[in-house]
C-alpha cells in the first residue's frame, strides 16, 4: 500500500484525546486483542468458508492457525444494532440500539452513557483502546462518540451513512474533523479505507510496549463497489461476466452522501474489495510479527451481518451466504450467521467447532480474560472455557434476534429449532415460520403446522426476550399501550 496516502488528508494538528487507564499496571503476560469486523461480509465470502471464485489467503491462514466457528451469530442483521450487541453484551431484544436511526447532520443514535461496553472492560484492566473504521453508534460530540465510550484513539467514519462512500471528503480523528481535500468536488485523492488502515498500523507501532485492544471495524465490502486503480483490481478484471450498475454519481442529490456510485465491473470490483480486505488482515498480522507481539496477541475475525444486495452487489453469483437462506436484513441464517475465527497462539486449539455462540458473548469473554466481571447484567456467556480448554463451557438456552425495519422481524433459535416472525409490527397479522436447522439448515421446509407445541414454546421465548423500548417500538400493541 502507498504510505503517502496517510499524509494526504492528515496534515492537520491532530492531538491526543485519550482516556487514562483505571488500573495502574498490567503484567506483560496479559494478551493483546485485535478484533476485526468486516462490513456485510457473507458466511461464504471467504475461501476457508467455501468461497470458490476467489481466494482469501491471509484470512485462510488465520483459520488454519486457530479455531473456525461454524455456528456463530452476529448481533442482528444490520450494522448499528449488531455492533451494539457486540459492545454491550446484550442481544437485540435488550440492546439500546435496535435499528439504523439517523441523527442530523451526521451520525446515528447514540449508545447510552451509563452502559458498560467492551472498551470500558478493557480500560478497567489497564489496556489502551483504539478503533479504526466505521463507528455508527453515536454522532460526534454526543454520549455515543467513541471517545466517550472508552475508546482512547479513534480514526474513521463516525457516520455509517457517509461510510457508504470510499472517497469521502472528511473523516474523524477522535473529536476532530479531518478534511480530505483530494476528494473534494468528486475527486479521487484518498481511498479512505487505505488511510484508515495506515492509522491502525500506526496504533500498533505506538502501543507495542503496553497491552492494547485494537478494534478494526473495516468498511469493506459494504457498498459502494469501488477500489483504486492498482494491481488488486487488475488481478480480477476480466475474470467474471459483468452487468454494469448505474448508481449515484456527481450531480446526483446523494452523491457521496450515502448514494452508491456507478460501477461497470461490479463482480471484479467486489472480488477485489474482499481481496483488499484480506491484504489488510495480512498487514496487521505482519505488523504484529514485526513488533514481536504475535505470540501474545489474540486475533479475531468476523462480520457484522450477512451479505448485502446494494450498489450492484451480487451475492448469488458469489454464493456469499453459502448454503444459507437470506441476506442482510433477513433473520434467516444467511442474514445472521457469520464467519468467526479466533487465533490465540499456544492457547486456542486449531480446528473447527460447531459450538453455538454470538456477538453478545464477547463482553463476558473479554471480562473473564482480563480478570474482570461485567458490571451490569448481560445476555452473553464467557467463551473462555471453550477457547482455553479449561473448565466446563456453558451453553446458551436460546438465541434471540430482532430487526426494527421491513415491518419488524424476529427470530428465536433453541437447539435445532428456529422460529421466525415476519411483519412483527402488525400484531395478529404477523407471519410465523418454523424450521429444524439440523435437518434443514437452508430453511426450505416450514414445519409450523406440524409442530404446534414447539411453536408455542418458542413464541413464549420470543415474547419474553423482547423488552419494550420507546425508541424502538417493535410491536403494534406496545405502541398503543405506551400512548
Distance CA 214, CA 36 (A): 8
If asked whether residues 390 and 453 sit together in one domain, one would say no
pTM for the whole thing?
0.93
CA distances from residue 93 to 331, 410, 483 in whole angstroms, order as listed? 14, 9, 21
Dihedral angle sign, alpha carbons of residues 299, 304, 308, 312? negative
If asked whether residues 341 and 413 sit together in one domain, one would say no
Is the residue at 16 inside a domain?
A: no
Which residues on neighbouring strands pair with residue 172, listed in sequence order? Answer: 156, 177
If asked whether residues 391 and 449 sit together in one domain, one would say no
Flag whether pLDDT at 4 surpasses 60.
no
- The residue-averaged pLDDT of 273-301 equals 98
pLDDT confidence tier of residue 5, bands split at 50, 70 and 90? very low
184-193 tens-digit pLDDT: 999 999 999 9
If asked whether residues 225 and 186 sit together in one domain, one would say yes
Flag whether pLDDT at 78 surpasses 70.
yes
The per-residue b/e assignment along 124-161, b for 16 or more CB within 10 angstroms, e otherwise, is bbbbbbbbbbbbbbbbbebebbbbbbbbbbbbbbbbbb
- Give the range of the structural domain holding residue 309, as residue numbers without chain letter: 30-396
- The residue-averaged pLDDT of 363-371 equals 96
Grid cell locating 82: 449488531
Is the residue at 420 inside a domain?
A: yes
Residue pointed to by grid coordinates 488528508: 9
Domain of 430, CATH number, reads: 3.30.1120.10
If asked whether residues 336 and 439 sit together in one domain, one would say no
- The residue-averaged pLDDT of 374-383 equals 91
Flag whether pLDDT at 163 surpasses 50.
yes
419-448 tens-digit pLDDT: 999 999 998 899 999 999 999 999 999 999
At 480 the pLDDT is 57
pLDDT confidence tier of residue 139, bands split at 50, 70 and 90? very high
Is the residue at 14 inside a domain?
A: no
At 22 the pLDDT is 33
Nearest CA to 46 out of 70, 73, 74 is that of 70
Length, in residues, of the chain: 483
CA distances from residue 239 to 48, 58, 267, 272, 354 in whole angstroms, order as listed? 21, 21, 9, 11, 34
If asked whether residues 323 and 453 sit together in one domain, one would say no
Residue pointed to by grid coordinates 505488523: 287
At 10 the pLDDT is 42
Is the residue at 10 inside a domain?
A: no
Is the residue at 432 inside a domain?
A: yes
Flag whether pLDDT at 40 surpasses 60.
yes
Cis peptide before 224 (omega within 30 of 0): yes
Last-in-domain residue among 346, 373, 396: 396
Interhelix angle 79-88/362-369, nearest 10 degrees: 30
Dihedral angle sign, alpha carbons of residues 274, 280, 281, 283? positive
51 near 41, Cβ under 8 Å?
A: no
- When divided into structural domains, the chain yields a total of 2
Which residues on neighbouring strands pair with residue 410, listed in sequence order? Answer: 402, 421
CA distances from residue 64 to 60, 149, 341 in whole angstroms, order as listed? 6, 34, 9
pLDDT confidence tier of residue 45, bands split at 50, 70 and 90? very high
If asked whether residues 337 and 430 sit together in one domain, one would say no
Nearest CA to 171 out of 152, 195, 151 is that of 195
8-39 tens-digit pLDDT: 334 333 333 323 333 333 334 799 999 999 99
Flag whether pLDDT at 274 surpasses 60.
yes
**Chain mean pLDDT for the chain:** 93
Is the residue at 5 inside a domain?
A: no
Last-in-domain residue among 330, 365, 396: 396
Amino acid at each position: 500500500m502507498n504510505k503517502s496516502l496517510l499524509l494526504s488528508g492528515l496534515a492537520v494538528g491532530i492531538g491526543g484525546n485519550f482516556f487514562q487507564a483505571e488500573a495502574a499496571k498490567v503484567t506483560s503476560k496479559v494478551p493483546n486483542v485485535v478484533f476485526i469486523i468486516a462490513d456485510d461480509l457473507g458466511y461464504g465470502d471467504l475461501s476457508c468458508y467455501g468461497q470458490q471464485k476467489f481466494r482469501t489467503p491471509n484470512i485462510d491462514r488465520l483459520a488454519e492457525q486457530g479455531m473456525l466457528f461454524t455456528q456463530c451469530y452476529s448481533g442482528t442483521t444490520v450494522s448499528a444494532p449488531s455492533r451494539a450487541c457486540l459492545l454491550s453484551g446484550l442481544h437485540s431484544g435488550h440492546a439500546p440500539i435496535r435499528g439504523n436511526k439517523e441523527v442530523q447532520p451526521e451520525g446515528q443514535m447514540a449508545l447510552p452513557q451509563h452502559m458498560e461496553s467492551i472498551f470500558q472492560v478493557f480500560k478497567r484492566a489497564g489496556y489502551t483502546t483504539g478503533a479504526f473504521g466505521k463507528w455508527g453508534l453515536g454522532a460526534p460530540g454526543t454520549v455515543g462518540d467513541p471517545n466517550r465510550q472508552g475508546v482512547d484513539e479513534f480514526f474513521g467514519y463516525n457516520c455509517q451513512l457517509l461510510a457508504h462512500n470510499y472517497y469521502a471528503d472528511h473523516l474523524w480523528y477522535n473529536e476532530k474533523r479531518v478534511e480530505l481535500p483530494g476528494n473534494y468536488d468528486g475527486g479521487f485523492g484518498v481511498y479512505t479505507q487505505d488511510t484508515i488502515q495506515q492509522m491502525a498500523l500506526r496504533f500498533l507501532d505506538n502501543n507495542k510496549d503496553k497491552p492494547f485492544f485494537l478494534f478494526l471495524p473495516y468498511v469493506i465490502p459494504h457498498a459502494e463497489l469501488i477500489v483504486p486503480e492498482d494491481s488488486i483490481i487488475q488481478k480480477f478484471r476480466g475474470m467474471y461476466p459483468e452487468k454494469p450498475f448505474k448508481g449515484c454519481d456527481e450531480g446526483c442529490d446523494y452523491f457521496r452522501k450515502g448514494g452508491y456510485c456507478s460501477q461497470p465491473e461490479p463482480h471484479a470490483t467486489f472480488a477485489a474489495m474482499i481481496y483488499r480486505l484480506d491484504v489488510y488482515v495480512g498487514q496487521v498480522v505482519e505488523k504484529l510479527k514485526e513488533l514481536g507481539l504475535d505470540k501474545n496477541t489474540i486475533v479475531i475475525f468476523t462480520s457484522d451481518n450477512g451479505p448485502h444486495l446494494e450498489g450492484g452487489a451480487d451475492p448469488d453469483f458469489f454464493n456469499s451466504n453459502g448454503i444459507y437462506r437470506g441476506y442482510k436484513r433477513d433473520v434467516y441464517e444467511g442474514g445472521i450467521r457469520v464467519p468467526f475465527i479466533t487465533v490465540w497462539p499456544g492457547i486456542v486449539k486449531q480446528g473447527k467447532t460447531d459450538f453455538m455462540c454470538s456477538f453478545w458473548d464477547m463482553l463476558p469473554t473479554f471480562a473473564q480474560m482480563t480478570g474482570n466481571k461485567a458490571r451490569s447484567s448481560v445476555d452473553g456467556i464467557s467463551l473462555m472455557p471453550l477457547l482455553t480448554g479449561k473448565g466446563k463451557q456453558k451453553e446458551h438456552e436460546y438465541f434471540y434476534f430482532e430487526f426494527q425495519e421491513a415491518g419488524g422481524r424476529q427470530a428465536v433459535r433453541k437447539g435445532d429449532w428456529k422460529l421466525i416472525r415476519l411483519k412483527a409490527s402488525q400484531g395478529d397479522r404477523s407471519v410465523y415460520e418454523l424450521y429444524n436447522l439440523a435437518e434443514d439448515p437452508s430453511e426450505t421446509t416450514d414445519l409450523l403446522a406440524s409442530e404446534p407445541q414447539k411453536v408455542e414454546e418458542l413464541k413464549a421465548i420470543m415474547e419474553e426476550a423482547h423488552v419494550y423500548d420507546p425508541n424502538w417500538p417493535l410491536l403494534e400493541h406496545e405502541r398503543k399501550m405506551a400512548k
